[in-house]
Structure 1
């Protein structure tokens, strides 16, 4: 399901399912869902078959109790299976948001790409994404992060104060885009 979030829906970012006690519903941007889907396909079609073959070859060597390749392979298989289950569950239950479909482009909502300026005039651009999509080096921060929470519903020209472990910082919103 793809949708743009109306402004009032951000008021209800509480967890829907009893599976997790998270402060927010699980939202994914369209691009985040596509990245997760590619990872799932790679795990199912490449990684799992490769590790299965390695475990089978190691098992054929005899005594499994002291066979390091077998033990490691089984452990790796459990990790892959766990990640596959996680990705399948996330993709099945997450609400997919297409940022380009956002109608209120004057304010920051989930999926927005926001350019900020700090007190020193340094500019940084972030996309507001779900917790499963975080990549600070890639400019993707969680809607649940201190900066993400502070930016919600704000517009260009607004200034927000953000408490961080290193102290408070004041950030001004310079630009908002929905790509």
Structure 2
């Protein structure tokens, strides 16, 4: 073991400030979701709203009220995704690296470490839009992500977690493809237009 040091988690950066680091597949997922909302979901809801608007009193028309509310949600999500895509700073974990960038953990690294109780874990450090705890994808601004940054095999760290300090030893830092769950259309996404006679 080379050295021991302590890392205290810092507050997460406010949304919209700083860079939006993201992997190529994470950016693809955001773009696919935005494309789906713009080309399929929004037009389908607009059709429902137009159909419902022609059915008389809008104040008591549940289809119309729900459709307008859903349209606002979709538009807000499209604006959010557009901002995240525009602020994206793509970092490819598979890109060639040299020097310390090959052996130290930075954004896109997959880190294998062991806890004080001997439990081995593997996490990949990804962007805030790519967090997936089932796949062990953690955000680079999370307490663990920040603690692992710039570590190398053999480093010991103390992670100050809410339940108390955790002692970790880094076993391996590697860079490889990180499989981000692709965007999947929600089940019944366009069902809202079915059943309405136009």
Q: Hey, which bits of structure 1, 4+ residues long, moved more than 6 A?
A: none
User: Is 2:108 the counterpart of 1:111?
Assistant: yes
Show the counterpart of 1:87.
81
User: Is 2:27 the counterpart of 1:36?
Assistant: no
Show the counterpart of 2:41.
47
TM-score by length of 1: 0.82
Q: Which has the higher contact order (CA 8 A, sep 6+)?
A: 2
Q: In structure 2, how many angstroms separate the alpha carbons of the residues matched to 1:148 and 1:47?
A: 35
Give the alignment of 1:144-155 within 5 angstroms.
144-155=141-152
The correspondence for 1:141, drawn from 134, 138, 142, is 138
Show the counterpart of 1:6.
none
* RMSD over equivalenced CA pairs, Å: 1.9
Contact 2:19 2:87 in 1 (8 A): no
Corresponding residue pairs, total: 161
Classify the secondary structure of the residue corresponding to 1:176.
strand
Could you tell me how far 1:137 is from its partner in structure 2? 2.0
User: Is 2:94 the counterpart of 1:97?
Assistant: no
Contact 1:161 1:170 in 2 (8 A): yes
5+ residue gaps in structure 1? 1-14
Q: In structure 2, how many angstroms separate the alpha carbons of the residues matched to 1:73 and 1:116?
A: 49
5+ residue gaps in structure 2? 1-12, 177-198
Could you tell me how far 1:53 is from its partner in structure 2? 1.7
The correspondence for 1:160, drawn from 157, 161, 171, is 157
Q: In structure 2, how many angstroms separate the alpha carbons of the residues matched to 1:74 and 1:64?
A: 11
Q: In structure 2, how many angstroms separate the alpha carbons of the residues matched to 1:43 and 1:127?
A: 29
